[in-house]
């Protein structure tokens, strides 16, 4: 069998090697006629349409999978955020219901002090509990900072 490469295809790699440029030999097209390459799309004597269809279908699948990954990640993040929002809403409704019932009980008891306590918000209620704890600590001769530390404030 005769050598399939032309003189130019043989001399260029040798010349580059002599100049220390071996890395410059390969271009995007391999040396030799198309009939010697391994691809199905470059054969002049073969119907390349089935090969090209299969290659493009595989490329399409790869591209679709690559674009599905970020979307799946975004959907997962949104799902977690939605679950957290539902949990937060349930907790808020439960606290609101408890506060309403507390206000009703305090109103039925009729004491002005308890009525005022039922109308307090979370911050005001925390301040009242803090004042009570501080007063009790001072009454027994304890440092108020230690009492607050025990309460986790």
pLDDT of 49 over the 90 cut = no
* Per-residue CA distances from 36 to 4, 8, 100, 111, 126 (Å): 9, 17, 85, 100, 84
Helices within the chain (DSSP H only): 7-18, 49-109, 112-119, 122-139, 144-151
Q: Which residue has the tokens 């691809």?
A: 39
Q: How far apart are CA 105 and CA 97, in angstroms?
A: 12
CB 33 within 8 A of CB 27: no
For 59-112, the pLDDT digits (tens) are: 999 999 989 999 999 999 999 999 999 999 999 999 889 888 877 877 777 777
- CA dihedral over 15, 19, 20, 24, signed as positive or negative: negative
Give the pLDDT of residue 60.
94
Q: How far apart are CA 95 and CA 61, in angstroms?
A: 50
Q: Which of 118-122, 124-128, 146-150 has the highest mean pLDDT?
A: 124-128
């Amino acid at each position: 069998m005769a050598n399939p490469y032309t003189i130019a295809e043989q001399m260029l790699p040798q010349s580059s090697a002599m100049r220390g440029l071996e890395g410059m030999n390969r271009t995007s097209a391999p040396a030799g006629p198309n009939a010697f390459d391994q691809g199905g799309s470059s054969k002049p004597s073969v119907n390349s349409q089935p090969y090209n269809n299969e290659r493009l279908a595989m490329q399409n699948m790869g591209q679709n999978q690559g674009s599905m990954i970020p979307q799946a990640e975004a959907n997962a993040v949104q799902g977690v955020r939605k679950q957290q929002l539902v949990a937060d809403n349930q907790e808020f409704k439960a606290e609101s219901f408890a506060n309403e019932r507390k206000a009703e009980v305090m109103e039925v008891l009729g004491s002005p002090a308890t009525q005022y306590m039922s109308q307090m918000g979370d911050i005001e209620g925390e301040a009242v509990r803090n004042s009570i704890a501080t007063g009790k600590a001072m009454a027994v001769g304890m440092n108020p900072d230690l009492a607050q530390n025990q309460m986790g404030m």
